[in-house]
Amino acid sequence: MDAALITQVIGTGRIRPAAESSHVLGNHGSHEVFPESEEEIAAVLRAAHEQGWTVIPMGGGTKRGFGGTEEKADILLGLSDCRGIAEYAPGDMTVTVKPGTTIQEINAHLAAHGQMLPLDPYWPRQATIGGVVAANDSGPKRLRYGSARDHVIGMRVVYPDGRLIRTGGKVVKNVAGYDMNKLFIGSMGTLGVMSEITMKLRPLPPFQTLLLLAFSRSDFTLIRSFAVSLLDSLLEPVSMEFLSPAVHRNMNGGHGYALAIAFEDEEKAVRYQEEWVKARLPADAEIQSWEQEEAAEWWMRFARLPPSGVSSGDREETLAVKIGSKNLDVLEIVRACHDLGERYGLDAQAHGGVGHGITRVYVTGNPTLFASYLTEIRSLAESRGGYAVVQHASLERRRELDVWGRKPAAFSLMEGIKRSIDPRRVLNPNRFIGGI
Amino acid sequence: MPAIDPIVHELARIVGADSVLYQREDLAAYECDGYTVHKHPPRAVVFPSCTDEVAAVVKYLHDQNIPFIPRGAGTGLSGGAVPLGGEVIISLVKMKRLLHVDYENRLAVVEPGFVNLKLTNSVAGKGYYYAPDPSSQYACTIGGNVGENAGGAHCLKYGVTTNHVLGLEVVLANGEIAEIGGVPDAPGYDLMGLLTGSEGTLGIVTRITVRILKNPEGKKTVLAYFDSVEEASQAVSDIVAAGIMPAALEMMDKTAIEGVEAGTYPVGHPKGVEAVLLIEVDGIAAGIDDQIAKIVSVCQGRKVSEVKVAATEEERARWWANRKTAFPAMGSISPDYLVQDGVIPRSRLPEVLEKIRQISERSGLRIANVFHAGDGNLHPLILFDARIPGETELAVRVGSEVLKVCADAGGSITGEHGVGIEKKEEMRYVFTDDELEAQLQIRDVFNPRNLLNPDKMFPKPGRCAEMRAAPVEIR
């Protein structure tokens, strides 16, 4: 690309030559551009569309190792300067934020009004709302609160040719036209750059606790029947995250599998639910509990388990895989992630939501074994109607691994959508499924 | 007697002769849906009984360039299933089986013609239910719910249809069958999210996997009467600000109360009150009394004239029957009525209600307000008499004015009824040409010949490209 041209569309103060010529995670840019407004985002994209440049949008950079086989694009579009709360109406329980705002920043702002973003993605201090929505990230509490597609009600999106499109609206219920929000959630920045996101909120729960049930005998029949009875009960757990022995050890120095059950409600309701669980503990289970700030702190540590694109060194040779399945298949998938790790001599930390169907595993050790490990996990997931997607790996590994797995049904519609919105493949080329 | 339309034989070949309607008197029932202002008979109605038949019918119509409309129970309120262009109607009512319930994984698989309320009834024995509960749930189908992204009184806490659909089998515009979703966060663009609420313009769903929920352990319902709409509206904001997430928060104004009390399920609302709030809280029983106490105290802070908690399940059910039949009850106080469906940020309620009152005064048409106050979804019922020349048109105009007020307050022209034919032009109140074009681009990907429910959802003249893409009329 002609570097001089970019200075004509955006002030030189917003342009930085790339600090390093390459990045071990790829998804880099020859030039790093940091727009401060929607107009500046549009100006960059318009120029890219006209000049045939490629652009990789990035928020906090935590998901830099997620998808993509390109070393670099012409432009790395950093959105960290498009940050802040654009509009907050506590009475409407909605907030509009700019894409580069971190999850922690948003929640700190909302907490002052007794509200929260009902989303618990990983690395909340670094991860930005734009990145979280684009990658559709979510944590254990989606069991109760849902994921980005349940909370995002409107967006402003800059299309790859610089057009500005508003999707949805600012009200919590809206069926005017197609639900275009859904198009961008989880689209890995391949269709547009979000310049504003409006979300539904929830009140901060008056009280919260965390119960950690440790199953020292790893008796899966008992674990399963306990999980089923809890899910079939009238309790309303916010999370029921099943932890592999390595995660359990890492978080609490414990042994064997464990189940992290959270309750958030009026204190009386929380206490009642705790008692219910304690009265029905499986024979081999030991219980530990945390409440209020301590429970929140436990979850903050939990949110730092996966590898992040901005943490240094030792994370580079970590493989992270997200597995989607039916709810209860999570038990078996977490176990398979652990057992396979032992068999391959890899350290595999796995956890998954019994009740929401998302499992994650973080693998370290001899990276030449990652491909076989992934293949085995993927074939197990697929045999149950699920999938496995690589969420983090170095560029070198991603080029060897099949990041996204097989093309889904109706892939031709997805290709059609990409072709229609970004015919020149400006945004994140080859980042997404099937080479989109 | 006119010659039989040649497509009838072809359709009958696919689905059997007794599953095609084509005679004028049989078609009359399909001239409109729950929106009755505009009517037109379809070219034919076809009743497939399985996915393969739907696919074969669609493929045939696609190859012949004949436009078509999927239809469920026909309870839609925006005219989405009205064959204004004489389209062929593909009715899904024969595909009405509950295929599978998996309690452990909390899901149910249904055919599109399965009635909403039947799902809840089918799983109630084990303590489960299906959350989206539109007022027409005793009749409307889950396929139609997906088409409209239907809501209901309880979506404040539990969300609308799109939050409960886990997977779809869909017949695309060319007759291909595709499976979409099935597990959470399925890789790729969220086609399921796009299809839900696409009003039959992107595909025909033939199998739906939905989430089922466990019944809440406890549930309590409060009725609160206010002498001013303003105070009632403030109470709504205060309840939310107090950190309470009610399962439902409904309001009716004086005219609406008059209607429901004259209807089939009167509950004896006192005379002269300006507004009533119906508030429901559910969840863990141990936590509910504290929430009810907060609600009662909030209402008292807003000069409530009377506030009471339902003493029995029977009383609670009566209150809900009274509210859920509010639309038809208007028939008792007016020969005709038109339901609108605007949405506003809930904090703007008092100001918007005042503007609606002014519109009513100016037009001389009474407007009853029944709405989901918690999520700002208004249902102004415009009362009129179609026998008086010009009054139907006036009612339609008044409806559009009300939507303009909602849009100008930062809201939307439809919260759950859809755009259909009714609000095509009002789409311009909320979207720019570029934004409408972006949506049409998506339609072109799914439905390139614009054969699936054409001329719905988008204003005319849409654009130059729309003119080019217009299907050849074969009549």
Chain B closest CA to A138's CA: distance in Å?
10
User: Using 50, 70 and 90 to split pLDDT, how confident is the model at A230?
Assistant: very high
**How much of chain B exceeds pLDDT 70, in percent?**
96
Q: CA-nearest residue of chain B to A174? A: B415
Which CATH number is B326's domain given? 3.30.70.2190
* pLDDT, greater one: A409 or B66: B66
- What is the reported pLDDT for B464? 44
Q: CA-nearest residue of chain B to A111? A: B243
Minimal CA–CA distance to A423: which of A163, A125, A98?
A163
Domain final position from B25, B57, B91: B91
Look up residue A421 and give its amino acid.
I
Which CATH number is B62's domain given? 3.30.43.10
Is the pLDDT reported for residue B462 higher than 80?
A: no
* Residue B474 domain-assigned (yes or no): no
* Residue B81 domain-assigned (yes or no): yes
Domain final position from B176, B191, B214: B214
One domain for residues B413 and B434: no
pLDDT tens for each residue of A21-52 = 889 999 999 999 999 999 999 999 999 999 99
One domain for residues B209 and B104: yes
| Cβ(B123)–Cβ(B101) below 8 Å | yes
Minimal CA–CA distance to B419: which of B381, B371, B456?
B456
Cα atoms in the Cβ-side hemisphere of radius 13 Å centred on A197:
32
Cα–Cα distance for residue pair A98/A301, rounded to 1 Å: 26
pLDDT tens for each residue of B93-113 = 999 999 999 999 999 999 999
Is B32 in a helix, a strand, or coil?
coil
Mutate to test the interface with B, among A178, A331, A380 (most CBs of B within 10 A): A178
Listing DSSP states for B33-93 in one string gives: SS--SS----SEEE---SHHHHHHHHHHHHHTT--EEEESSS--SS-TT--TT-PEEEE-T
> What is the token pair recorded at B309?
């908690």
The answer to whether A173 faces chain B, any CB pair under 8 Å, is yes
CB contact under 8 A, A206 and B243: yes
One domain for residues B126 and B111: yes
- What is the reported pLDDT for A19? 74
| φ, ψ for residue B50, nearest 5 deg | -155, 170
The answer to whether A411 faces chain B, any CB pair under 8 Å, is yes
Is the pLDDT reported for residue A403 higher than 50?
A: yes
Residue recorded with tokens 């407007």 = B367
Cα–Cα distance for residue pair A54/A160, rounded to 1 Å: 10
> What is the token pair recorded at B145?
């719910």
| B161-173 average pLDDT score | 98
* Residue B356 domain-assigned (yes or no): yes
* Residue B114 domain-assigned (yes or no): yes
Nearest to B193 among A94, A179, A206 (CB): A179
Cα–Cα distance for residue pair A408/A180, rounded to 1 Å: 20
One domain for residues B204 and B109: yes
Is the pLDDT reported for residue A316 higher than 90?
A: no
- What is the reported pLDDT for B473? 38
- What is the reported pLDDT for B140? 97
| Cβ(B233)–Cβ(B348) below 8 Å | no
Residue recorded with tokens 């007016």 = B334
Q: How far is CA A147 from the centre of its chain?
A: 9
| Cβ(B398)–Cβ(B342) below 8 Å | no
- What is the reported pLDDT for A406? 94
Question: Dihedral of CA B457/B458/B461/B467: which sign?
Answer: negative
- What is the reported pLDDT for A6? 86
* Residue B390 domain-assigned (yes or no): yes
One domain for residues B209 and B115: yes
Nearest to B345 among A138, A171, A178 (CB): A171
Look up residue B136 and give its amino acid.
S
| B24-40 average pLDDT score | 95
| Cβ(B246)–Cβ(B292) below 8 Å | no
CB contact under 8 A, B413 and A89: no
| φ, ψ for residue A250, nearest 5 deg | -60, -40
| Cβ(A114)–Cβ(A129) below 8 Å | no
Is A354 in a helix, a strand, or coil?
coil
CB contact under 8 A, A173 and B376: yes
CB contact under 8 A, A409 and B179: yes
Is the pLDDT reported for residue B466 higher than 50?
A: no
Produce one character per residue of B216-235: b if its CB has 16 or more CB atoms within 10 Å, e if not.
bbbbbbbbbbbeebbbbbbb
- Residue A47's Cβ-count burial label (10 Å; 0-12, 13-18, 19+) is buried
User: Using 50, 70 and 90 to split pLDDT, how confident is the model at B2?
Assistant: low
Helices (H) and strands (E) in chain B, counts: 17, 19
| Cβ(B145)–Cβ(B132) below 8 Å | yes
> What is the token pair recorded at B292?
């009810």
* Residue B462 domain-assigned (yes or no): yes
Interface of A with B in 34-53 (CB under 8 A): none
Is the pLDDT reported for residue B389 higher than 70?
A: yes
User: Using 50, 70 and 90 to split pLDDT, how confident is the model at B468?
Assistant: very low
User: Using 50, 70 and 90 to split pLDDT, how confident is the model at B265?
Assistant: very high
Question: Dihedral of CA B55/B61/B65/B69: which sign?
Answer: negative
Look up residue B153 and give its amino acid.
A
- What is the reported pLDDT for A8? 87
Strands B128-129 and B213-214, bridge-based pairing:
antiparallel
The answer to whether A217 faces chain B, any CB pair under 8 Å, is no
* Residue B392 domain-assigned (yes or no): yes
- What is the reported pLDDT for B472? 38
CB contact under 8 A, A92 and B346: yes
| B177-205 average pLDDT score | 97
Residue recorded with tokens 């206490």 = A271
CB contact under 8 A, A409 and B376: no
| B38-66 average pLDDT score | 98
One domain for residues B127 and B162: yes
- What is the reported pLDDT for A312? 64
Any idea what the Cα angle at residue B197 is, between residues B194 and B200, rounded to 5°?
Answer: 95
Is the pLDDT reported for residue B465 higher than 60?
A: no
User: Using 50, 70 and 90 to split pLDDT, how confident is the model at A314?
Assistant: low
- What is the reported pLDDT for A315? 64
| Cβ(A319)–Cβ(A390) below 8 Å | yes
CB contact under 8 A, A91 and B346: yes
Minimal CA–CA distance to A41: which of A163, A203, A171, A174?
A163
Is the pLDDT reported for residue B394 higher than 50?
A: yes
Instruction: Respond yes or no on whether ipTM tops 0.90.
Output: yes
One domain for residues B148 and B136: yes
Q: Please tell me the total count of domains within chain B.
A: 5
Chain A closest CA to B416's CA: distance in Å?
6
| A211-235 average pLDDT score | 95
Is B2 in a helix, a strand, or coil?
coil
* pLDDT, greater one: A396 or B156: A396
- What is the reported pLDDT for B142? 98
- What is the reported pLDDT for B242? 87
pLDDT tens for each residue of A324-353 = 999 999 999 999 999 999 999 999 999 999
List domains and CATH numbers for chain A.
3-80 (3.30.43.10), 85-203 (3.30.465.10), 214-302 (no CATH), 313-400 (3.30.70.600)
Question: pTM to 2 decimals?
Answer: 0.96
Strands A347-353 and A358-364, bridge-based pairing:
antiparallel
Chain A closest CA to B21's CA: distance in Å?
31
One domain for residues B446 and B362: no
Q: Which residues contact A389 (CB under 8 A, 6 or more apart)?
A: A321, A322, A323, A324, A403, A404, A405, B187
Is A390 in a helix, a strand, or coil?
strand
| Cβ(A77)–Cβ(A66) below 8 Å | no
- What is the reported pLDDT for A375? 98
- What is the reported pLDDT for A313? 60
CB contact under 8 A, B103 and A232: yes
| B56-78 average pLDDT score | 97
One domain for residues B299 and B407: no
| A409-425 average pLDDT score | 97
Strand partners, A85: A97
The answer to whether A271 faces chain B, any CB pair under 8 Å, is yes
> Looking at residue B296, what DSSP letter applies?
H
Cis bond before residue B459 (omega within 30° of 0): no
Strands B88-91 and B44-46, bridge-based pairing:
parallel
- What is the reported pLDDT for A20? 79
Question: Dihedral of CA B175/A412/A148/B413: which sign?
Answer: negative
- What is the reported pLDDT for A213? 97
User: Using 50, 70 and 90 to split pLDDT, how confident is the model at B240?
Assistant: confident
CB contact under 8 A, B416 and A181: no
Cα–Cα distance for residue pair A154/A129, rounded to 1 Å: 13
One domain for residues B176 and B265: no
One domain for residues B446 and B400: no
| Cβ(B343)–Cβ(B377) below 8 Å | yes
| Cβ(B276)–Cβ(B256) below 8 Å | no
Which CATH number is B127's domain given? 3.30.465.10
Q: Which residues contact B120 (CB under 8 A, 6 or more apart)?
A: B129, B130, B133, B137
Which CATH number is B352's domain given? 3.30.70.2740
One domain for residues B209 and B126: yes
Provide the domain limits for residue B260. 217-332
Number of Cβ within 10 Å of residue B270's Cβ equals 11
| Cβ(A153)–Cβ(A169) below 8 Å | yes
Cα–Cα distance for residue pair B207/B177, rounded to 1 Å: 11
| A314-321 average pLDDT score | 83
Domain final position from B57, B91, B125: B91
* Residue B1 domain-assigned (yes or no): no
